[in-house]
């Protein structure tokens, strides 16, 4: 089965989008011990930046693909800062 670059790229964007939207939904519905506005806001901004960057990727250019791939990893590691910050911001409200 060969999907092609564009199909795989779109599937990846869809999966990442679903994960970010699931985190936004979980923030609102399930996570009461965090700063919900911070968590929702940062995830929506990260998602918007991901989509903005994805529109700039030239799928014929391996360097552009590699750069976007590295950017996705930066978003992944950003989660290690966002969630603890949301917890700290919630604690500072008491």
In the chain, domain spans: 5-91
CA 70 – CA 45 distance, rounded (Å): 18
Give the per-residue pLDDT at 67: 96
- Cβ neighbours of residue 71 under 8 Å, at least 6 residues apart? 50, 53
What is the pTM for the complete model shown?
A: 0.85
Give the per-residue pLDDT at 92: 58
Is the pLDDT confidence value at 1 over 70?
no
18-21, Cβ contacts within 8 angstroms, sequence gap of 24 or more: 20/44, 20/46, 20/47, 20/50, 21/47
Is the pLDDT confidence value at 93 over 60?
no
- 54-77: per-residue pLDDT in tens? 999 999 999 999 999 999 999 999
């Amino acid at each position: 089965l060969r999907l092609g670059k564009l199909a795989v790229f779109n599937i990846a964007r869809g999966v990442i989008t679903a994960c970010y939207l699931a985190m936004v939904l979980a923030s609102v519905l399930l996570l009461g011990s965090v700063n919900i506005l911070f968590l929702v806001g940062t995830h929506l901004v990260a998602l918007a930046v991901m989509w903005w960057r994805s529109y700039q990727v030239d799928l014929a250019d391996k360097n552009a693909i590699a750069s976007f791939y590295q950017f996705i990893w930066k978003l992944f590691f950003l989660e290690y800062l966002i969630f603890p910050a949301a917890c700290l911001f919630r604690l500072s409200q008491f």
